[in-house]
A and B are shown apart, each in its own frame.
Chain A
Amino acid sequence: MGTRRYILGKVAQAVLTLAFVMVFNFFLFRVVPGDPAGLLLRGTAAFNPENVEQLRSELGLDRPLPQQFLIYLENTVTLNFGESFFLRGQDVKEVIAGRIWPTLLLVGTSTLASAAIGLVIGIYGGWRHGSRFDVGSQGFTLFVYSMPEFWFGILVLMAFAGGIGPFPALFPAGGYSTPGADLTGPAHVADVLNHLALPWFVLTIAYLGQYALIMRNSLIDVMNDDFVMTARAKGLREKEILWRHVAPNALLPTFTVILLSLGFVFGGAITIEYVFSYPGLGLLEVQAIDSKDFPLLQGLFLLFSAAVILANLTADILYSYLDPRVRAA
């Protein structure tokens, strides 16, 4: 009974948050100084009062606000975000759908990889905290944390795609696959992976630090618990204590963070996709900024927020199974 109430409560919270994001999204693009119609035409040859008026009625901006909101609600629920401006006439929904796969491939896999590596670093660092390995990995973590990831991306791009001095360029400079080369089968896969390598490497390094840090701190918390003393008193070997008793317990808080960051997969790599001109959702967002493509920006913003809310909800529910104490609370 408690479980059901807990889950229902979390679902209700998520729905409420989504509703907030939708209302926020609605007002964001209407309370702007000089409404969307004006913004759209500003700086173009078609900027005159007549055209602005016409566009306003096309976008439904001349109707009363409550009615506009209802139209917006209906459009959002049916995923009808209108047409993109910069890709003339293309449906926003389809434009977005076409870019999801490359982003999932790049950001999804690098998030998982950095989580795995980060956990191992955090476990070793926390278990022997104060050791040379720990100090080194802490320093590395802090440095990576302080680095704008796009800057690191540019440096990597310069070194491996431009070549340093006598060394030749090792990887292609960007894109999803070689344009024009109509490859199929294994050759196509190899080509895609070849293009994936550099941005994947940059993202894995950039995300690694946070997991290592959280895992380390959580492990240090757990290793002072009484059951560790008991395990030692029973005469277990250190390795067994670490991997069978301490690490699984320390994994709980880190697990939440990993799940949450999966929600950021969609919108997480905006600058890196831009640097490597990797045709995913992040690059699409940059293109939408450059062309002031508001329908596209709006759709992407909703998608990014919804992904995070969904990940949050999943984390909450899964966590309640992994650690039944939170259900009682």
Chain B
Amino acid sequence: MRPPETLPTYEEGPPAGVELEPGPPPEVPRNPRRIAWTRRGISARRVWKTYRKSLLGMVGLVVLIFFALVAIFAPLLADKQGLDATCPCNGTPFSPPSLEFPLGTDNFGRSVLTLTIWGSRISLMVGLFATAISMLIGSFIGILAGYRGGTSESVLMRLTDWFLVIPFLPLAIVLASVLDRSLGVIVFVIGVTSWPATARIVRAQVLSIKTRPYVERSRALGASGWHLNTRHILPNVGPLIFANTILTVAIAILSESTLAFLGLGDPLSISWGTILDFAFSAGAAYAGQWWWIVPPGLAIVFVVLAFTLCGFALDEILNPKLRKR
């Protein structure tokens, strides 16, 4: 390795390795924290520029925005009273799609369209919160194992392997049936059963970052473990965690629909999985009431597909293992 001729100083401009857009160099703030944020802003813009070129990634993003808008503006799109089995606004039970009920009605005469619109709220919310739990556990264990090394690493990784081996669905079923039936329990169950993959990915990345020169320099300057983790390691693992998060949301939404379909969901909050559970239990499949089954299922497919497409596109940009291809 060639020794650097002059040590880079921050007053001279942004640190080495940062590509700036062509044009006049932006004014560089002197505060180190501001420098870091400016740098992150630049790299976020660079990621977005690459992401925009991925057609499938953009399709996924558009679909996601659509479903997010539906979930946020559900009260404007459909009256919440339509969820009530005794609402006078309900039509004849089991009626096929008509002008008044574009997607037909269920066994209580509720509009399937209303159910599907409001179901998006629960399905997306459970998916996001469960993913948040899974990411917190996974990143924490991954960073701790990768950074500490030694005995704590082998203990933590052994634990991770154990959770990887236990089959997911039976474990989730056992947990959900032991605990009470509520949304919080479903979120918790999916969260605590889906973190091991994240922990492994994060740990591998931490191991590689830990040995980089700037971390060594920082340590030589007397930085504490907390400083190293929050200022150097976490920001560098962050993008990978983010890409992983998006893929995990897809899995969490699928898991929620499966648990709800098996009757383990909260019977009071209607998600897409709950609608399918009600429909199947009421014999919609044998009676050929396709309008009750197709819409919530298609909604799940589209949302999961969209999250997966976004996740793959981001992973291709942010995952150092895939980037070279």
Q: Give A residues with C-beta under 8 Å from B.
A: 16-17, 20-21, 24, 28-29, 32-33, 39, 142-143, 145-148, 150-151, 154-155, 157-158, 161-164, 173, 264, 267-268, 270-271, 274-275, 285-286, 289-290, 292, 294, 297-298, 300-301, 304-305, 308-309, 312
Contact = CB atoms under 8 A, between A and B. Distances in A.
A21 B166 contact: yes
B226 interface: no
Interface in B276-317: 276, 280, 285-288, 290, 293-294, 297, 300-302, 304-305, 308-309
Given A270-B262, A297-B177, A150 B165 contact: no
A264 B167 contact: yes
Given A29-B178, A154-B280, A162-B285, A21 B262 contact: no
A290 B308 contact: no
Nearest to A263: B167
B173 A143 contact: no
Given A146-B308, A264-B167, A158 B173 contact: no
A145 B253 CA distance: 13
B234 interface: no
A148 B177 contact: no
Contacts of B288: 158, 162-164
B179 interface: yes
A292 B174 CA distance: 10
A271 B165 CA distance: 20
A329 to B, nearest CB: 16
A161 B288 CA distance: 10
Contacts of A290: 263
15 contacts: A17-B161, A28-B174, A142-B309, A148-B276, A151-B301, A154-B276, A162-B288, A173-B286, A270-B170, A270-B173, A270-B262, A285-B170, A304-B167, A308-B167, A309-B165
Contacts of A304: 167, 170
B250 interface: yes
A164 B285 CA distance: 11
A155 B165 contact: no
Contacts of B294: 155
B120 interface: no
Contact of A17 (B162, B174, B250): B162
Nearest to A312: B165
Contacts of B180: 33
Contact of A162 (B158, B170, B280, B286): B286
Nearest to A13: B161
Nearest to A19: B162
A305 B167 contact: yes
Interface string B155-182: 0001001100111011101110111100
Contacts of B158: 16
Contact of B308 (A33, A145, A275, A309): A145
B276 A301 contact: no
A306 to B, nearest CB: 10
Contacts of A142: 305, 308-309
Contact of A308 (B166, B261, B262): B166
B264 interface: yes
B105 interface: no
A163 B290 CA distance: 12
B171 A158 contact: no
A254 B197 CA distance: 18
A158 B293 CA distance: 10
Nearest to A269: B169
Contact of B173 (A17, A32, A289): A289
Contacts of A162: 285-288
